[in-house]
Amino acid sequence: MNRRIGSTALKRLMTEYKELTTNPPEGITAGPITEDDFFTWEALIPGPDDTPYEGGVFSATLTFPKDYPLSPPVMKFTCPMFHPNVYADGTVCISILHPPGDDPNMYEHASERWSPVQSVEKILLSVVSMLAEPNDESGANVEASKMWREDRKKFDEVVRANTLRALGL
């Protein structure tokens, strides 16, 4: 049974990878780090226009569980990322990456959380949207959430500095 679940996940990931290479979302690239491991991907995400992330290209990994797409992957930025919805270790905290079903904290609707109809492309596009419009009500990074709410100018300065660092400038 476990072998079958893993092969279902592998087939799905191979299909999604093919789709992403033939029809990628604008500016985004993603795929397996090596062809020997389809369960660990690398992604490059552009900073959205008209945000302090603009001009940046942010690297991240996606680690898929063996029961994908029944369970969501874990996405983690591998470059400096100061954002209300990103933990200090780089892990992204957005609804689409939360396990399916009802939220034990009753903050999110089940329809906002992961479901097998979601895809890598939808995750990546959701992360671009998250960069443009943080959710400061459920902050993974309390300092960034507070700064976003109370001192947007300083928030923008910190983000621009991180964006330049991510570019190696």
**For 44-64, what is each residue's pLDDT tens digit?**
999 999 999 999 999 999 999
Rounded average pLDDT over 25-39: 93
Domain that holds residue 146: 2-163
Q: Judge contact between 78 and 88, C-beta under 8 A.
A: no
Catalytic (active site) residue 93? yes
- CB-CB contact of 95 with 115 (8 Å): no
The reply to whether 168 falls in a domain is: no
8 lies in some domain: yes
On whether residue 11 sits in a domain, the answer given is yes
What CATH number is associated with residue 105?
Answer: 3.10.110.10
Catalytic residue among 43, 62, 81, 93: 93
What is the tens place of the pLDDT at every residue in 58-95?
A: 999 999 999 999 999 999 999 989 999 999 999 999 88
Could you tell me the pTM of the whole model? 0.88
pLDDT given at position 109: 59
Q: 120-167: per-residue pLDDT in tens? A: 999 999 999 999 999 877 779 999 999 999 999 999 999 999 898 877
Please report which helix (H) or strand (E) contains residue 153, including its range: helix 152-166
How many distinct structural domains can be found in the chain? Answer: 1
Tell whether 169 is covered by a domain.
no
